[in-house]
A and B are shown apart, each in its own frame.
Chain A
Amino acid sequence: MTTATASPLAARRRPPLTSRNSPARRGMRTALGILFVALMLFPVYWMVNASLAPGGNSLNTQLLPLNPDVSGYARAIADQGGNLITSLIVAVGAAVLSLVIATPCAYALAQFPIRGSSTVLFVVLIAQMIPGIVIANALYTAYNSLGLLNTILGLVLADATAGIPFSILIIRAFMESFPKEIVEAAHIDGCGHVRAFWSIVLPVSINSLITAGIFSFLFAWSDFLMALTLTTGQTIRPVTLGLYTYIGTNDTDWSSVMATAVIASVPAVLLMIIAQKYIAAGATGGAVK
């Protein structure tokens, strides 16, 4: 499934049907792949199993949910629809914002001889080490004065604190090996930095962008701290907070909690599948030639 980029060399990249790629071998790989992933995902399966168990805990659960109790799902769907949409909007927004801010910076740090680029890199690294609660506390005060509490924009900006430094580091690592010759060729042809970046660098770096975008999405999706701090729970609530409708101080309605987690994962997984299709093989290869 090597989706080729718009390069005339794409045709060459169809794998030759040597014994290494025979249908039998590929079939075996699929089988192995399913086995590995099944092992990795067993706890997720167990979670689904628990969500269907009466009482919601797995103490007496069988290996297969033979007597499914869907009341947890009914509750989850009724309560969490709006929260799910909020989560999706905030996570996608944070991912987009992270990419928009981080990608030019990553490119510059990787390719341009800018004074102070190691300082910027250093600050980016330090930013990753600060405990989230310290950032959340500082933002709370600022947001309160600016009226950004309980806003989607506020959450998007705050959740990007996880995505931006990360994306800068990752994309920069990928761009380090970007062939300078292409850009120089473009400069000779009269392209400025921005044109070169937009038309040449970005398409070729699509792998790193998608990867950084996926993780920025995931960081924002699973964020709890910023959502807790920067909202008061009455207007917008991401799913991570919405879960607490079922979590009391002493007793927890686990079947609803698990059902919510299952339902919330579905749109996110779909997004992941779509995004991963674009991670193309050997995107930089051949471009130099």
Chain B
Amino acid sequence: MTAQTTTPATVRRRRAHGSALVRYGFIAPAVLYLALFFGYPIVKNFTMSFQEYTSATFFTGEASFAGLDNYLAVLADPVFSKAMVNTVIFTVVSIAGQFVIGMALALFFRRSFPLSGFLRSMLLLPWLLPMIVSAAVWRWILEQDSGILNQALSTIGLISSPIPWLSSSDTALIAVVMVNIWLGIPFNVVLLYSGLQSIPEELYEAGEIDGATGWAAFRHLTLPLLRPVVSVVLLLGVIYTIKVIDLILGLTGGGPANATQTIATRSYEMSFIEFDFGQGAALGNILILIALLFSVIYLRANARSMKEGR
């Protein structure tokens, strides 16, 4: 839009009007995609939890309305409270571990050194392996008698008898969390590193002049500037972690004796092993509710910071 010999008000109005369309145009493709690919599934996932949905429904398309029956049944299930506790432990410990280690590694990689780029890319290897392969390898590593972890630990002298990582209800959850942390580290490292790299070096140099180095620089310079990235990494971490099924099913199948059952694995079991899709959907929606809680916190904090400006 070039400057024209019209009144400034007209120009502004024209620019503003054109601008509005252009601005909506930026989000149009995304909104269209979301509507097409997610609209129906979101609705269906929600309504399925209020229906009596069995394998017959897939064939006939008929599913009677069940009100809150599915939710009540799900809450009354004896494994539910255990699954809920496991979900909370699994999520909280996984995210704490992944984030702390991820942040430490991201900070470590901040200053370049020979091979740093190569090493950072190699860190992504765990994400390139199919889950069925990672689960199998970890099962071999954690095997009580012949697994390399126990062998290493006893060679160093840390343990006297082999730990039944995956076959004891005391240690199974710990083992599964360990593997999930391993899996989540690359995600955190890459995102946090990218965020760190967007902070200009000059700020640190200026801070140094003021005497802020090391931990103080981290607290007062890095963290505040990194806040948007940190909050989205944590939020996505929560959303992805509570949904994890493949890892747990591949390592323990939810056992032993339900020691590693989470709401997500129960949802899968309900649907595809017990063929009660209504209850499976109800469990799925409970997970969504939990994730929504975190999302709302994120959106509120986000809106506040946008108003505050920077």
Question: A: which residues have CB within 8 A of B?
Answer: 1-2, 13, 15, 20-21, 26-27, 29-30, 32-34, 36-37, 40-41, 43-44, 46-47, 50, 57-60, 63, 100-102, 104-105, 107-109, 112, 114, 117-118, 120-131, 133-135, 137-139, 157-158, 160-161, 164-166, 168-170, 172-174, 176-177, 190, 192-194, 197, 207-208, 210-211, 214-215, 218, 221-222, 224, 239-240, 243, 247, 254, 257-258, 261, 264-265, 268-269, 272-273, 275-277, 279-286
* B132 cross-chain contacts in A, Cβ below 8 A: 243, 247, 257
- B19 part of interface (Cβ distance < 8 Å): yes
Chain B positions 5-19 with a Cβ under 8 Å from a chain A Cβ? 18-19
Q: A129 near B26 (CB under 8 angstroms)?
A: no
Picked from A128, A218, A257, the residue with its CB within 8 Å of the CB of B127 is A218
Q: A169 near B232 (CB under 8 angstroms)?
A: yes
Q: B29 near A134 (CB under 8 angstroms)?
A: no
Using A44-B125, A280-B197 as known contacts, say yes or no to A190 and B3 having CB atoms under 8 A apart: yes
Q: A57 near B140 (CB under 8 angstroms)?
A: yes
Q: A265 near B129 (CB under 8 angstroms)?
A: yes
Question: B: which residues have CB within 8 A of A?
Answer: 1-3, 18-19, 22-27, 29-31, 33-34, 37-38, 40-42, 44-45, 105, 108-109, 111-134, 136-138, 140-141, 143, 146, 148, 182, 185-187, 190-191, 193-195, 197-203, 225, 228-229, 231-232, 235-236, 239-240, 243, 267, 271, 284, 287-288, 291-292, 295, 298-299, 303, 305-306, 310
Give Cα A239 to B131, complex, Å: 12
Q: A193 near B3 (CB under 8 angstroms)?
A: no
Give Cα A190 to B141, complex, Å: 62
Give Cα A277 to B112, complex, Å: 12
* A40 cross-chain contacts in B, Cβ below 8 A: 123, 126, 182, 185-186
* A123 cross-chain contacts in B, Cβ below 8 A: 34, 38
Minimum CB–CB distance for B238 against chain A, Å: 10
Q: A30 near B137 (CB under 8 angstroms)?
A: no
Give Cα A104 to B22, complex, Å: 11
Give Cα A165 to B236, complex, Å: 11
Q: B134 near A164 (CB under 8 angstroms)?
A: no
Q: A173 near B291 (CB under 8 angstroms)?
A: no
Supply 19 further A-B pairs (C-beta < 8 A) apart from A101-B29, A197-B26, A282-B202: A1-B112, A2-B112, A15-B111, A15-B112, A36-B105, A36-B108, A37-B119, A43-B126, A104-B27, A157-B37, A161-B38, A170-B191, A176-B228, A177-B225, A222-B127, A240-B130, A254-B136, A265-B129, A285-B203
Minimum CB–CB distance for A14 against chain B, Å: 10
* A138 cross-chain contacts in B, Cβ below 8 A: 40-41, 44
Most chain-B Cβ atoms within 10 A of its Cβ — which of A20, A32, A282? A282
